[in-house]
Amino acid sequence: MMNNYATDWTIDSIQNAKKYYVKTLVHDEALAAPMNSFIDAQTVYTKSVVRTVSDMTNAISKTMSNWFNLKN
């Protein structure tokens, strides 16, 4: 739980910095809107990948733990 919070916070911080960069340097709304849309898509994708890797790692850890307990 805490790991997801910290990971989400980190991802959101980086993505918010990108949005701030766009807001500061891109003054044409026709250009800024798709850039912000792309940043939002990156956010969703990155969070999904991180959760998938975390779930996979947890499943492997659980499987290996069970396997070692059966061996002993």
What are the pLDDT digits (tens) for 9-53? Answer: 999 999 999 999 999 999 999 999 999 999 999 999 999 999 999
The number of domains in the chain is 1
pTM: 0.80
Q: How confident is the model at residue 72 (pLDDT cuts 50, 70, 90)?
A: low
Distances in Å between the alpha carbon of 52 and those of 6, 8, 44, 57, 66? 16, 13, 12, 9, 21
Structural domain boundaries, residue 52: 2-71
